[in-house]
Structure 1
Amino acid sequence: MTTLYLFGSAAPPVSDAARVVGDAQARGWEVCLGLTSTAARWLEPQLQELEALTGHPVRSEYKLPGEPDVWPTADAILVAPATFNTVNHWALGLTSSFIVGVVAEAIGKHVPTVTMPCVNAAYVQHPQFKQSVKTLRSAGVTVLYGPGGFEPNQPGERRLESFPWDMALDSVGSIVSPAS
């Protein structure tokens, strides 16, 4: 089976993790779920259910040196929702969090990676965000942002139901077929 690492940051669409895991599995992916520490705290009541659903531990922290990896190797990675913080840390190579460390290394390992930011219109005015999107794209990451991708919402506007999860899963599937 082809393995997808699904990584989520602490933005409202992360609350759809169980549904998205199920959708990815229905498409033929074996899914390993990783979360930022804040997203893991948000989903704490669901973590056991998510582990049962994926058949793997939900990870939000680095393993200790010498410990075996509990996940199979990724064939593809989807980082969604990716917050302002996650996108900027990743582009700058600041790997203090587990998921940012994995995706930063994935660039060098040439693991096909897709990200869909979930940021509001105020955050995207910061000049670093546009530079970070440009940096990730130039490194080979498919960034689903702007026309044809995620369109920023207004601060405080929660558009959970309109986060384009299908677009994100379709994009990963167009790069790496789960049946391959």
Structure 2
Amino acid sequence: MPSPTIRPATDRDGAAIAAIYNHYIASTVVTFEELAVDATEMAARIAKVQAAHLPWLVAEEDGEVVGYAYAAPWHVRAAYRHSVEVSVYLDHQATGRGLGSLLYEALFPILKSKKIHVAIGGLTLPNPASEALHQKFGMQKVAHYHEVGRKFGQWLDVGYWQTKISEAE
């Protein structure tokens, strides 16, 4: 199998990204969204991230999108402008092959070049694979919120991991 290509997402990737994400909405608790999103909504989300001058990347194999990662503003207040929340999702049939690492290996240098100071990752807990991925990139657990979400009839915890990317000014 050829190496995956990592490239910036375009609005044409909306359907493929929505298909990946909708699996997690319908079948898991890793996202707290409960309703599927369509290609138009996903394209709008991509455009919003890119309008904030932040990266949204896709991993592509044999012309098919098999994963994505992006950085979104942490909060809207101006003082947070040097902090982002990072996310990565993989096609559920493409997990365990290092694609999440490849996406973050591409994403983090872009954030550094944009003088992003801190990257934050929010994870539904427990989630050993995602915890390991974030720790691999130097992220440390900084918060644990108990039973803050409810999906599929269960209360869910959320943890936050954080790392310094650069010395933003």
Shorter chain as denominator, the TM-score bin is 0.3 to 0.5
Which structure has the highest helix share of the two?
1
- Taking structure 2 as the reference length, what is the TM-score of the superposition? 0.35
- Taking structure 1 as the reference length, what is the TM-score of the superposition? 0.33
Which structure has the highest strand share of the two?
2
